Amino acid sequence: MELPFAEPWRIKSIETIRRSRPDEREAWIREARHNLFNLRSEQVYIDLLTDSGTGAMSAEQWSEIMLGDESYAGASSYYKLKESIEEILGFPHFLPTHQGRAAENVLFSSLIGTGNEGQGMIVPGNSHFDTTKGHIEFRHAEALDLTIAEAFDTESEHPFKGNVDLERLEAFFKATPRQRIPLFMLTITCNSSGGQPVSMENIRGVSALCKRFGVPLFIDSARFAENAYFIKVREEGYGGKGIREIVREMFAFADGATMSSKKDGIVNIGGFVAFRAREDFERAMTFNIMYEGFNTYGGMAGRDLGALSVGLREATTFEYLEARIGQVGRLGASLIAGGIPIQKPCGGHAIYLNALRFLEAVPRGEYVAQTLAVELYREGGVRGVEIGAIMADRDPVTRADRFPALELVRLAIPRRVYTDLHMEYVAAVVGAVWERRKAVTRGYRITREASILRHFTVELEALG
């Protein structure tokens, strides 16, 4: 008899959360100007806004918190992390930063520039995430999405929807002068297309084209361990390989990587940018010292460097990934069974609701994904996040809204935080909104927004 699955850990500490009343939630979301980022954490029952920095650390990681060496230069905690990065990812050089977008800032300052030097430059990739695209466009460069077409068909069961369209990439390289392409940015897993993985075959193909045309390849590796898991379970020839063996092969194709350690580092703060070549590392050092701090601490405390050195090791174990991705998959299966439209197959860190098929009566110009996200909060205190027109921002030239192919609501699952009973509650909340979906016919208009990355601080007014 095959025994049932159980998580490879036990709970040692808890945090009390409170279920709110519908009238409370109605008042709170109005006060927040219908922006879920503006809610206080205690106003949220199940918080699926992000999996970034919201995970639970292990006893071994908390031990490193107490052992942290806070020396300004040459801290032992730095060398613990250096050893983990070199052993697991294979990069001999790295610069610590306070989080992933800081790593992007350091890398793009080095390769694109710090002002308007990016004018006319193009950074190809597979559905760049919001901060990546923001940093590129802030430098007056263009972020070019070359993700395969299957990524935008939520019903397609393609196992690697994060893949790059290699034919389009080759055509782009042939048609574009090399000096206009500072780098290729490959995101694994691809968050904006639904937490979808990139196959090893595709990584190899991207690398070959980049080498052929002399373009540096960098990996946005926030969820690299989850990507390795999908390669192991979905790609032919990798079932018998270990997670770390797969990780080393993935990164062997790259010149470097950025990392938001708040994801697959399983820490609450931190990031880094890693390099294979010493000269790339030295060119970026100046920017790291200017923006983040000295090279052996960057934007991180010694205790967090130590916790991350352990987190990278824990995140690259099959048992942990099986439990983590399995929980996401079980929530997805429950929603699919209820007829609810989601991005298929389920990704590694989140479930993505297809808002265009969910709230078909809401006009596209009234921010349908944001409307659905607000309804989930109203229904049961579940906070997700819009991955749609608001996050897509305005065109830098015309200032018109950009409407992406997909309007999604992401339900991002924190690592080692919620139980499957919490996921059952989430499924019930989504199901309740699905049952009354035809009654939701109007959305929102923007009353205040920032000039870039507006989704974090946007203010909205209900229509109808």
Residues with active-site annotation: 72, 129-130, 220, 222, 263, 455
Query: How many C-beta atoms lie closer than 10 Å to residue 16's C-beta?
Result: 4
Q: How far is CA 116 from CA 113, 120, 122, 396, 452, in A?
A: 7, 10, 13, 13, 15
- Give DSSP secondary structure letters for 354-394: EHHHHSTTS-GGG-HHHHHHHHHHHHHSEE-EEESHHHH-B
Please give the Cα distance from 7 to 354 (Å, whole number). Answer: 29
The DSSP 8-state label assigned to residue 401 in this structure reads: B
Q: Are 427 and 331 in contact (CB under 8 A)?
A: yes
Rounded to the nearest 10 degrees, what angle do helices 302-315 and 318-337 cross at?
70
- Give DSSP secondary structure letters for 152-202: G-TT---TTTT-B-HHHHHHHHHHS-GGG---EEEESSBGGGTSB---HHH
- Give DSSP secondary structure letters for 17-80: --PPPHHHHHHHHHHTTT-GGGS-GGG-SEE-S-SSS-SPPPHHHHHHHHH----SSS-HHHHH
Tell me the three state secondary structure of residue 150.
Answer: helix
Query: How many C-beta atoms lie closer than 10 Å to residue 444's C-beta?
Result: 23
Query: Which strands make up the sheet holding 122-125, listed edge to edge?
Result: 93-97, 271-275, 256-260, 217-220, 184-187, 122-125, 142-145
* Residues in Cβ contact with 52 at an 8 Å cutoff, skipping those fewer than 6 apart: 100, 222, 260, 262, 263, 412
Tell me the three state secondary structure of residue 301.
Answer: coil
